[in-house]
């Protein structure tokens, strides 16, 4: 649903259409997205139009990018440690041969 909203406002029926869900289920889903601050809804008569609120996604992206760097550094260190162990094992096997 969020991806759909990147193209502009959509009503609940339009948001539900690509999924195997009822209008009521889609409306409940939108309520959850609203409470998370990701969607804003406006009512025009009986039509509920939803639009994306990108700021919370930008905050989440910033947080995830920090931890991506954190884990990349840790995994790079682990990779180097494992390669060093492999080199040492290969070196030791070379010495054991007559």
**Alpha helical stretches, state H, the chain:** 2-5, 12-16, 23-35, 55-96
Tokens coding 2: 């969020």
Write down the pTM of the prediction.
0.64
Note the pLDDT tens digit of each residue in 26-66.
999 999 999 999 999 999 999 999 999 999 999 999 999 98
User: Which three-class secondary structure state does DSSP give residue 19?
Assistant: coil
Contacts of 33 (CB under 8 A, 6+ apart): 1, 2, 39, 50
Find tokens 């840790």 and name the residue: 74
pLDDT at 88 over 80: yes
pLDDT at 98 over 80: no
pLDDT of residue 96: 61
């Amino acid at each position: 649903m969020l991806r759909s909203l990147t193209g502009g406002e959509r009503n609940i029926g339009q948001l539900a259409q690509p999924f195997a869900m009822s209008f009521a289920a889609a409306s409940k889903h939108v309520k959850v997205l609203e409470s998370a601050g990701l969607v804003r809804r406006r009512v025009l008569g009986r039509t509920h139009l939803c639009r994306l609120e990108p700021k919370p996604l930008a905050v989440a992206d910033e947080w995830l990018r920090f931890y991506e760097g954190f884990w990349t550094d840790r995994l790079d260190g682990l990779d180097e440690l494992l390669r060093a162990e492999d080199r040492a094992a290969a070196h030791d096997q070379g010495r054991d041969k007559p």
